[in-house]
Structure 1
C-alpha cells in the first residue's frame, strides 16, 4: 500500500505502525491547511517579517529567502517555521487581501475572472450543447434585469448582438420544435428585417427598415392598383361592375383581373379608393355615380359618390374612397352608374386601388 494519498498526499497509517497518532495528526493538519483554502495574499515573493501562527500565503514568482524555489506553493507558518504544500490542478483558494477567487490549472494560479478561465468552449443548461450552438439552455422562463442604482448599477439593461461584416447575420431566430418560423434582426445586410416562414426554408419579409434612411418597407403588404385600358360602356340608370383588367402593381396577387375584384388574402382592415372619368355617348348630360361594393352586395360606408352638376366629357372625374373590415376571401369591386343617359368611363383614366392598413 502507498504511504500517502494520491490527491492531497495525506499520510496513511501503516500496518503495525508505532505512534499512529502522529501520522493521523499530520493528515488532519494537511486537511486543515488545504480544505476551504484561504490565503492572505498571492503577490509576495518573500515571507513577511513578522508572520502570525497559522498564516497562509501563495508564493509569488521569483521567490526569495525562506520561500526560495517554492513559487506557486501554499506556504503555512506554523510552530515558528514555514511549511509548503504543492497544489494540484483544480485547487481553489480565496485571496483575502484582494477578495479574489483563484484556481490552479496544473501549471499556475489563475483568477476565475480571467479571460483564460472564461473561455469555455461549450455550456449547456438543462441540455447538451451542440458544436453549432455552444451555449444552450432548456428552461421555461428566463429573466435579464438591469442592475439597480441601489445595488451599484445604473438601472439599465442593454444586450448587444454583434456581427463582423455587412453580409453576416445577427439577430433572433424563432423556432417551433427546432424548425425556424421567424427571423428578426440584421440578416444578410444592415437593414432591420422581420421575416416569417411556414417551413423553415422559404421566408417572407413582413417589414424591412432601411439602415441608411430609416424608411420602412412592407414588401408583402396586400396592395394593388388597377386600371381599365378600354372605355367601359354603362347603360343608363344601371350599376355596372367596372372592368379593371390591368394592374400597375399587385402584391400578394390580391387583385383578380379575371373577375375584376380585389380578394382579401387575410382578414383585416383595408383602405380602397377609385377614380372614374366620364366619356359621353349620345349626351353629355348623364350624371356620374360610383361605389365600392363588398361581396357584390354591400356598399362600403362612405364609398358612394355622385356628381350631379354639369360636367365636360373626358375632363370630369369622380373620386371615392372608404375603409372596411374584411374577412379572408371577401371581395371588393368598383361599380359605376350613369343617370338618365348612357355613356362610358374613360380608358386609362379609370382606376381602382387599395391596401391593408391593419
Structure 2
C-alpha cells in the first residue's frame, strides 16, 4: 500500500503527461516558456483571482508575497506554530518576526479568536495555514485584518481545490499561496508553487520579484529572487489539471468513508460545514502514537506525522517564543497521525486501514466494520 499513490496517478494520465513534457522538449523554452502563461491563466480562472504568478516553490511563494507587501525588519507577522516550517521560515527570511497564535483543537487551523490579542503596532500581516487541505476561518481572520489595516496571506500549500463559503482556496485574502510539491493534491514532479491576488499592483510586484526584481530585461526596479517555476513543471501541472476535479471528488469520497468508519470511535480532524477540504492528509488523533504506528507498519500500512514538533519548539525557532506555551498545538503534535489517502486508494484498502487503526487504538467492537460503499 502506498501512502500517496503517485504511480497510479501517472499511469492514469501517462499519455497526456508525456505529450506535455515532449512539447516542452520540442520547443526548448525551459524557462518562462508558453506553458507558464497558460498555467497561470488556467489557475487564475480556477480560483477566481484576477492574477496568478507561478513560482519555484510554495516556500518561495510565501517569501515573494511578504516582499511584495513590503514586510521586513522591524515588522511582525502573526501565524501558527502548528505547520510545516516554511510558514515561519519565510517570515524570518525577509527579516521580520513571526508571532504565534495557537490553533483550534478540531481542525489544527489558527484560532481566529486569539489573533487580535497578538496584534501590535509592528504587525503587518497574518498568515493562516489551510492545514491538511481545509481553509482556516478566513472570514473572521479577514475581518480582524481589515479592522487593523493588515494584509492576509493564505498559506494554501495543502489546500488548492478546497473552498471556504463557496470561494476557492487561493482567492480568500489579500494574497494566496500554494505549492505543487509532488505529494500535494495538485503536484508536479519537482518543486513548484503559485501566488494569487486580485490586486494589480501586488501582481506586478510579485511578477517582478520572481525574476530578480526585473521589470524588463536587465532593468531591475526592486529587490528580487530567482523564483521562476520551470516550464517543464508547469506542463506537468497542466496535464494533471485535466483529472483534478475527479481526483478531488475521489479524495473526498475516501475521506467520507474514513469518517463513517472512524469518527464514532477515534478523534478526527474534521472538515467544518462552511468549507470543503482536498484532504492533503487524513489525520486522526491517537495516544501512544509510536506504538500505533508500529502496529500499522507491521500490517503493511504506511503512516505519516504532520507535524511532530511545533515550530516554537524547533531548535532554530525556540528563541522566538521563549517561555510561551501553545497547548493545543503541543497536544496535536504529540497525537496526530495521517493515514493513506489518494484518489486511487481502493475501498478494500480504506476498510483495511480503518480496521487496523481501531484495533491499534484499542477500540473493541462486535466484529470488523464494513466499508460504507464501493469507491469510484
Higher strand fraction (1 or 2): 1
Higher helix fraction (1 or 2): 2
- TM over 0.5, yes or no? no
Structure label with greater radius of gyration: 1
TM-score by structure 2 length?
0.18
TM-score by structure 1 length?
0.19
